[in-house]
Amino acid sequence: MNTEELQTQVLKLINKITIMKSSVLGLYFEDFQVGEEITHALSKTIFESDNNFFSLLTMNHHPVHTNLDYAQANQHGKILVVGTLVFSLVVGMTVPDISGRAIANLGYENIKHIAPVFINDTLYARSKILDKKESDSKPDRGIVCVETTGYNQSGEDVISFKRKVLIKKQPIWKHNI
């Protein structure tokens, strides 16, 4: 094989290589568009161990979350996942898209537990950008208001909430690597 043929073969191999892009954690303030809807890529199946650890960690010892006999004798007939675990997981699912570049979460409101969540349910999330406003006091940031809905493997909404997030603006200088 001569040099030219070898170069051609090497170029063909290089063209077949897929270069993986680095992931981006969060968006800048300017990237958010009011009315935009985001279906978040992350999901989580809730295992019994998740619920037990969260119950112990948060000192929520209500038997509907930890005692199968008790839960079977009550309304849903099985163990309920702790509502604040559901909330925490759904918030976490939104981080790569919503608050990865956040300076701070400013507040949560209208948290609604719409339907029960049980062991082995899988949670997903979607968010809608409701509003955005530049900071009055600091020009390098703005506030984004989102409404997030968590839903299960059957597409049933199980939780919803609104939150305001203080987000960095894109730096004036920008370099691409």
pLDDT mean for each 10 residues of the chain (177 residues): 75 63 78 95 96 95 93 94 98 94 95 97 97 94 97 98 95 62
**Structural tokens at position 25:** 């954690």
pTM score > 0.75 for this model?
yes
- Tell me if 16 is assigned to some domain: no
Q: Report the pLDDT value the prediction gives residue 177, as an integer from 0 to 100.
A: 46
- Tell me if 131 is assigned to some domain: yes
- Tell me if 9 is assigned to some domain: no
Q: Report the pLDDT value the prediction gives residue 19, as an integer from 0 to 100.
A: 58
CA 95 to CA 97: how far, in whole Å?
Answer: 5
Q: Report the pLDDT value the prediction gives residue 175, as an integer from 0 to 100.
A: 45
Name 31's bridge partners. none
Report how far apart the first and last C-alpha atoms of the chain are (Å, whole number).
36
Q: Report the pLDDT value the prediction gives residue 20, as an integer from 0 to 100.
A: 53
**Structural tokens at position 143:** 């506030």
Give me the number of domains the chain comprises. Answer: 1
- Tell me if 5 is assigned to some domain: no
Q: Report the pLDDT value the prediction gives residue 18, as an integer from 0 to 100.
A: 57
Question: Which are the contacts of 126, defined by CB distance < 8 A and separation ≥ 6?
Answer: 37, 38, 39, 40, 148, 149, 151
3-state SS, residue 120 = coil
- Tell me if 37 is assigned to some domain: yes
CA 82 to CA 124: how far, in whole Å?
Answer: 16
- Tell me if 174 is assigned to some domain: no
Which residues in 31-57 are b (16+ Cβ under 10 Å) and which e?
Answer: bbeeeeebebeeebebeeebbeebbee
Q: Report the pLDDT value the prediction gives residue 22, as an integer from 0 to 100.
A: 57
- Tell me if 15 is assigned to some domain: no
- Tell me if 112 is assigned to some domain: yes
Q: What is the CA radius of gyration of the chain?
A: 23
Q: Provide the CATH number for the domain around residue 39.
A: 3.10.129.10
How many Cα atoms within 13 Å fall on the side-chain side of residue 62? 13
Residue numbers of the domain that contains 141: 23-168
